[in-house]
Structure 1
Amino acid sequence: MDVQLLRAVQAGDVQSVDELVQTMPADALAGDEGSRLLRAAAFAGHADAVPALLDAGVDPTRAWGEGIDPVSWAADHGASVFLQELLSSDLSPWRKQVPRRMERAALEIARAWLTVDPELELRRRLGALQDDSAVVECKQIPVTDWGLRATRIRLTLADGRQAEIQTSHRAIVTFLENRLDVPVSHDELLARALFDADPQSCDWMEAQVVLAQRPNPEETFRWAAGLVAHPSVSTRRFATELLHRLSFHERRFKAEALETLRPRLRTEEDPIALDSVIGAFAEYTGRGDVTGLLPHARHLDPEIRRRVAIELVVAIGEPPQRAYRPDPPLIPFDTPPNVVATLIELASDVDGQTRANALFTLADSGIDTTAVRDLMTAHLTDDYPAARVHAAAGLALREDLYGLEVLRQIGAGADFLTPVGQRVDSVERILAHRAAERRNADSSGET
Structure 2
Amino acid sequence: MDAQLLAAVQAGDAPTVEKLLRTTSKDALAGDEGSRLLRAAAIVGDADVVSDLLDAGVDPARPWEDGVDPVSWAADFGAYEVLCELLYSGSSWRKQVPQHGKLAALEIARAWLSLDPEVELRRRLGAHQDEPAVVERVQVPIRDQGRRQATRIRLTLADGRQAETQIAHRAIVTDLEEQLGMSVSPDELLARALFHADPESSDWGQSQVALWSRGDAEEVFRWAASLVAHPSVDTRRFATELLHLLGCQEQPSKAQALDVLRPRLRAEDDVVALNSVIGAFAEYTDRGDLTDILHLAAHPTPGIRARVAGELVNAIGEPPQAGHRPDLTFIPFDTPPEVLATLIHLASDVDADVRANALLTVAESGIDTPTVREVLTAHLTDDHRSARLNAAAGLALREDQRGLDVLRQVGSELTPTDVRRWRVYGVEKVLEYRASGEEVLE
- Tell me, yes or no, whether TM beats 0.5: yes
Q: Cα RMSD between the aligned structures? A: 2.5
Aligned length: 436
The one-letter code sitting in structure 1 at the alignment partner of 2:225 is: A
The one-letter code sitting in structure 2 at the alignment partner of 1:287 is: R
How many angstroms does 1:44 deviate by?
Answer: 2.4
User: CA distance change for structure 1 residues 206 and 346 in 2, over 3 Å: closer, same or farther?
Assistant: same
1: CA distance, partners of 2:212 / 2:331: 40
In the alignment, what sits opposite 1:430?
430
In the alignment, what sits opposite 1:158?
158
1: CA distance, partners of 2:268 / 2:20: 51
1: CA distance, partners of 2:389 / 2:15: 26
In the alignment, what sits opposite 1:249?
249
2: CA distance, partners of 1:130 / 1:187: 34
How many angstroms does 1:210 deviate by?
Answer: 0.5
How many angstroms does 1:381 deviate by?
Answer: 2.2
Q: Secondary structure at the residue paired with 1:156?
A: strand
1:386 aligns with 2:403: no
* Equivalent residue for 2:326, pick from 315, 323, 332: 323
Q: Secondary structure at the residue paired with 1:224?
A: helix
1: CA distance, partners of 2:164 / 2:256: 47
How many angstroms does 1:333 deviate by?
Answer: 3.9
The one-letter code sitting in structure 1 at the alignment partner of 2:142 is: V
Retained in 2: the 8 A contact 1:45–1:143? Answer: no
Retained in 2: the 8 A contact 1:355–1:387? Answer: yes
CA deviations 1:111-166 (Å, max 9, x no partner) are 11112222222222111135612333344433348422212222212222211111
How many angstroms does 1:324 deviate by?
Answer: 5.4
Q: Residues 27-46 of structure 1 correspond to what in structure 2 (within 5 A)?
A: 29-46=29-46
Q: Secondary structure at the residue paired with 1:292?
A: helix
1: CA distance, partners of 2:140 / 2:380: 37
Q: Residues 99-138 of structure 1 correspond to what in structure 2 (within 5 A)?
A: 99-130=98-129, 132-138=131-137
Q: Residues 173-322 of structure 1 correspond to what in structure 2 (within 5 A)?
A: 173-319=173-319, 321-322=324-325
2: CA distance, partners of 1:313 / 1:225: 25
1:143 aligns with 2:142: yes
Q: Secondary structure at the residue paired with 1:57?
A: coil
CA deviations 1:19-61 (Å, max 9, x no partner) are 5545656666444444333323322232243323322333322
User: CA distance change for structure 1 residues 422 and 148 in 2, over 3 Å: closer, same or farther?
Assistant: same
CA deviations 1:357-397 (Å, max 9, x no partner) are 11222222211122222222222222222222222222222
How many angstroms does 1:428 deviate by?
Answer: 2.4
Q: Secondary structure at the residue paired with 2:135?
A: strand
Q: Residues 68-79 of structure 1 correspond to what in structure 2 (within 5 A)?
A: 68-79=68-79
Moved more, 394-403 or 182-191: 394-403
1: CA distance, partners of 2:370 / 2:11: 51
Identity rate of aligned residues, in percent? 64
1: CA distance, partners of 2:17 / 2:393: 34
How many angstroms does 1:68 deviate by?
Answer: 1.4
The one-letter code sitting in structure 2 at the alignment partner of 1:401 is: Q
Retained in 1: the 8 A contact 2:317–2:333? Answer: no
The one-letter code sitting in structure 2 at the alignment partner of 1:429 is: K
CA deviations 1:422-441 (Å, max 9, x no partner) are 222222222233333x1579
The one-letter code sitting in structure 2 at the alignment partner of 1:303 is: G
How many angstroms does 1:312 deviate by?
Answer: 0.7
User: CA distance change for structure 1 residues 404 and 139 in 2, over 3 Å: closer, same or farther?
Assistant: same
Runs (5+) with no aligned partner, structure 2 = none
Runs (5+) with no aligned partner, structure 1 = 442-447
How many angstroms does 1:414 deviate by?
Answer: 4.1
Retained in 1: the 8 A contact 2:261–2:281? Answer: yes
The one-letter code sitting in structure 2 at the alignment partner of 1:153 is: I
Q: Secondary structure at the residue paired with 1:318?
A: coil
Retained in 2: the 8 A contact 1:197–1:204? Answer: yes
How many angstroms does 1:77 deviate by?
Answer: 0.7
How many angstroms does 1:15 deviate by?
Answer: 4.5
TM-score (norm 1): 0.90
TM-score (norm 2): 0.91
Q: Secondary structure at the residue paired with 1:308?
A: helix
